[in-house]
């Protein structure tokens, strides 16, 4: 299973038993994270920690991947989550534990979704640019603007023998943006 974290929000995929290549439906692997421009300086990374369950149902650390804010989208072009041009990105799995070597990669899709309260068209590239700009230390204070961001663990190919595979076709839910 994968634990996905952004700021203090944490979500996890379910455990799939008896397989080294679990497949998740979008409802189980797509998570929305509300974000605020006023908190942009604290965003840091989206973190993916990959775990396995052994025969005795103990958690086994398999590795982790991080996607820094600046790398959420290619070339600064932010996308709606369900935009056909929004493609998954591949991130290498690493280990922060000396006793647990890791290799492989995880494929994730990140994107914005409109807020149900404000369904009007939003320029996601403008919002993303503002998030990146405000994530850097400055003396300018940010107004309390709300946004939400979604990601999905799309494909996970993990560890020495390719021990895991998560697949999530386009997921129906994602981030919310409001001004």
Residue 94 lies in a domain: yes
Give the residue-averaged pLDDT of 88-93. Answer: 89
Residue 155 lies in a domain: no
* Residue 120 clears pLDDT 50, i.e. is over it: yes
Q: Identify the residue with better confidence: 131 or 175.
A: 131
**CATH code, domain with 81:** 2.60.40
* Residue 32 clears pLDDT 60, i.e. is over it: yes
Torsion of CA 160, 165, 170, 175, to 10 degrees: -60
pLDDT at 153: 46
pLDDT at 39: 85
Give the DSSP per-residue string, 117-137.
TB-S---HHHHHHHHHHHHS-
| Placement of tokens 């494909």 in the chain | 155
Give me the chain's average pLDDT, please.
74
CB atoms within 10 A of CB 170: 16
Residue 148 lies in a domain: no
Residue 160 lies in a domain: no
3-state secondary structure of 141: coil
Cα distance between residue 14 and residue 11, in whole Å: 10
What pLDDT digit, counting tens, does each position of 125-141 carry?
Answer: 888 888 888 887 654 55
Cα distance between residue 151 and residue 30, in whole Å: 6
Residue 165 lies in a domain: no
Our count of domains for the chain comes to 1
Q: What is the largest CA-CA distance in the chain?
A: 53
Residue 158 lies in a domain: no
Question: Distances in Å between the alpha carbon of 157 and those of 38, 65, 107, 134?
Answer: 35, 12, 8, 33
* Residue 100 clears pLDDT 90, i.e. is over it: no
Model confidence, pTM: 0.72
Residue 92 lies in a domain: yes
Range of the domain at 54: 2-135
Confidence label for 12 from pLDDT (cuts 50, 70 and 90): very high
* Residue 93 clears pLDDT 70, i.e. is over it: yes
Cα distance between residue 153 and residue 57, in whole Å: 22
């Amino acid at each position: 299973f994968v634990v996905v974290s952004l700021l203090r929000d944490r979500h996890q995929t379910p455990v799939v038993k008896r397989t080294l290549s679990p497949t998740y439906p979008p409802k189980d692997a797509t998570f929305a994270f509300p974000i605020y421009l006023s908190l942009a300086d604290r965003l840091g990374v989206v973190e993916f920690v990959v775990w396995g369950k052994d025969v005795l149902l103990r958690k086994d650390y398999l590795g982790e991947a991080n996607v820094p804010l600046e790398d959420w989208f290619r070339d600064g072009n932010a996308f709606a989550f369900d935009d056909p041009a929004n493609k998954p990105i591949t991130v290498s799995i690493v280990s922060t534990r000396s006793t647990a070597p890791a290799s492989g990669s995880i494929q994730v899709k990140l994107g914005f979704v409109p807020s149900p309260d404000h369904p009007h068209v939003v320029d996601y590239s403008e919002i993303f640019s503002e998030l990146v700009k405000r994530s850097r230390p400055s003396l300018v204070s940010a107004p309390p603007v709300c946004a939400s961001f979604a990601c999905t663990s799309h494909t996970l190919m993990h560890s020495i023998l390719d021990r895991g595979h998560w697949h999530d076709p386009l997921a129906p839910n994602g981030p919310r943006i409001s001004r």
